[in-house]
Structure formats: structure tokens, C-alpha cells
């Protein structure tokens, strides 16, 4: 089984905005498009891009036989790329802002359906 480290690329500037790990990459990439996923900050970026009719690209940054090696690379890349949304911890102000934005999007959708 391959353990993949991948990046999601913002098509507006061709920069990585998310670094991830998965042993089932195709399933994980589909999950990123679900704006209701638990990974709310990447889902919010995905929603924003989809609203602009832009498609997020992905790239494989490494494939390993060992889960441990894959997770080590993921951790290193997240540290090296400080502008990824991975770095938003649940106690940070950035996380609180993203949760507020997510609620605002949800409220907008409810209002639109009324």
C-alpha cells in the first residue's frame, strides 16, 4: 500500500495551500471537495475557489511504503511552508475566524433557500 504526501494548489497563484497525507489518495481528494468535511479550513478554501469556478489542482510530493516516512515528510513540509492552512490550530484566532466564516457561509445558504 502506498502512503502519499500531497499538496493542494490554489489556481489563482499556483501556490500550495494545504499539505496532506493519505493511504487512499483518490478518496482523500474527493473528501476535500466536501465543504462539510471536518477539515474545515481547507474546505473553506475549496468552497471559495469553487464559487469562483476555479478547480483546485493537486500534486504528489512523495510516495512511501512506510506510513511513518510519509508522515515525517508531511510534518517537515508543513513547517517549511508557513502559508499552508495546516498550521491553523483550533485555539488560534485564525481558526476562530475560519469557523466564523464557515458559519456565515452556512447562514447565507439558508437565507438564499428561503
Q: Tell me, what's the pLDDT at 94?
A: 56
Closest C-alpha among 66, 58, 64 to residue 31: 58
Res. 98: pLDDT tops 60: no
Q: Across-strand partners of 62?
A: 5
Where residue 43 sits, what CATH number does that domain have? Answer: 3.40.1440.10
Total domains present in the chain: 1
Please check whether residue 109 lies inside any domain of the structure.
no
Domain range for residue 34? Answer: 3-87
Q: Assess if residue 110 is contained within a domain.
A: no
User: Which cell numbers hold the place of 13?
Assistant: 497563484
Q: pLDDT at position 87, please?
A: 59
Which distant-in-sequence residues (6+ apart) come within 8 Å of 86 by Cβ? 18, 19, 20, 78
Give residue 78's pLDDT band: very low, low, confident or very high (50, 70, 90). confident
Residue 4: partners with Cβ closer than 8 Å, 6 or more residues away: 21, 22, 23, 25, 60, 62, 63, 64, 70
In a domain, 103, yes or no: no
Q: Considering the domain boundaries, does residue 54 fall inside one?
A: yes
Residue 112 located in a structural domain:
no
pLDDT beyond 70 at 44:
yes
Residue 73 lies in a domain: yes
CA 55 vs. chain centroid, Å, equals: 13
Higher-pLDDT residue of 32 and 108 is 32
What is the average per-residue pLDDT within 103-111? 56
| pTM listed for this prediction | 0.70
Amino acid at each position: 500500500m502506498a502512503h502519499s504526501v500531497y499538496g493542494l494548489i490554489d489556481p489563482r497563484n499556483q501556490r500550495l495551500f494545504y499539505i496532506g497525507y493519505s493511504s487512499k489518495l483518490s478518496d482523500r481528494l474527493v473528501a476535500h471537495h466536501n465543504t462539510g468535511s471536518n477539515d474545515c479550513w481547507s474546505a473553506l478554501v475549496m468552497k471559495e475557489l469553487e464559487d469562483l469556478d476555479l478547480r483546485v489542482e493537486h500534486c504528489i510530493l512523495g510516495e512511501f511504503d512506510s506510513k511513518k516516512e510519509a508522515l515525517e515528510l508531511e510534518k517537515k513540509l508543513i513547517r517549511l511552508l508557513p502559508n499552508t492552512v495546516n498550521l491553523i490550530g483550533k485555539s488560534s484566532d485564525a481558526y476562530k475566524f475560519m469557523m466564523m466564516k464557515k458559519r456565515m457561509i452556512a447562514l447565507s445558504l439558508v437565507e438564499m433557500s428561503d
